[in-house]
Amino acid sequence: METARILGSSDAPSPESASRRGRTIFVGDVQGCRAELEDLLERLRFDPAADRLEPCGDLVNRGPDSAGVVRLMRELNAGGVLGNHDVALLRTARGLRRPKSEDTFGDILRADDRAELLGWLRRKPFVLERAGALLVHAGVNPRWVDPLERLAGLDPFVENQDLGFAIAVRYCDSFGARPEKDWPPPDAPYKPWFHFWPRDPGEVRTVVFGHWARQGLVERPQVRGIDTGCVWGRQLTAWIAEEDRIVQVDARRAYATGD
């Protein structure tokens, strides 16, 4: 498979791409899979002069090139939110977390541009609103009246119950309580958190999330789950908000085992 060519600033966009409106492209968990990210951008015909990338977190870890993914996202001025693996990297870099044997983000910790890469990640929020959608890494608590307000200004270096929910939830009950374990699937009253969205009948936004590779692609009214397990050998997925369209590329191989 050829490495995808990414349109750079020195490449003039085609008249077609220059005339069309830019797209908001949400990208599922990349987890260090830079080659697949390049493949996806090629399939999308991504135009950095017009389009906007909004990754759903977990840019790093378990895959082979965490530093490459962060560098590319930074070069493309990507937006997005922090995921649990991004938080783990930041806390490890600061000495607040011990490295684990399965961590693969050491390339960032050893990089000459370590400070720039970590600083770029550090400035990411835990939730944002784009193109009529709310982007969060794992999920939204059914008790939150305003997720944007609830998660605003949270510090990735400080443990917080709301932060933990936003980057790690899979199942909860209608009050936002989480089970002790997510696997095997817990019994009632626990359900996948997105069964409780939207909490308000007047809510019009779609929640876009990642984090749940085992669940795979989720397409429900006002919900798009786009972690499709690239690092596990499945697919890397994008959702184009303005077109309500899913675009996927296959993983080149499995880089991690388990799920």
Q: What is the pLDDT of residues 155-171, one digit of tens each?
A: 999 999 999 999 999 99
Is the model's pLDDT at 14 over the cut of 60? no
> How many of the other CB atoms lie within 10 Å of CB of 229?
23
Strands 235-240, 206-209: parallel, antiparallel or unpaired by DSSP?
unpaired
What is the rounded distance in angstroms from the CA atom of residue 136 to the CA atom of residue 65? 23
Percent of the chain past pLDDT 70, that is, above it, reads: 92
pLDDT in tens, 63-86: 999 999 999 999 999 999 999 999
pLDDT reported for residue 98: 97
pLDDT in tens, 210-252: 999 999 999 999 999 999 999 999 999 999 999 999 999 999 9
DSSP per-residue codes, 218-254: EEETTEEE----GGGTSEEEEEEGGGTEEEEEE-SS-
pTM of the model: 0.91
pLDDT in tens, 166-195: 999 999 999 999 999 999 999 999 999 999
Query: Are 32 and 64 spatial neighbours (Cβ–Cβ below 8 Å)?
Result: yes
What is the rounded distance in angstroms from the CA atom of residue 114 to the CA atom of residue 93? 9
Residue 259 — very low, low, confident or very high, per pLDDT cuts 50/70/90? low
Instruction: Specify the CATH number of the domain 23-250.
Output: 3.60.21.10
What is the rounded distance in angstroms from the CA atom of residue 229 to the CA atom of residue 211? 9
Query: Are 231 and 212 spatial neighbours (Cβ–Cβ below 8 Å)?
Result: no
What is the rounded distance in angstroms from the CA atom of residue 13 to the CA atom of residue 32? 28
Is the model's pLDDT at 1 over the cut of 60? no
Query: Are 36 and 249 spatial neighbours (Cβ–Cβ below 8 Å)?
Result: yes
Question: Where do the domains of the chain lie?
Answer: 23-250
pLDDT in tens, 117-163: 999 999 999 999 999 999 999 999 999 999 999 999 999 999 999 99
Strand, helix or coil for residue 206: strand
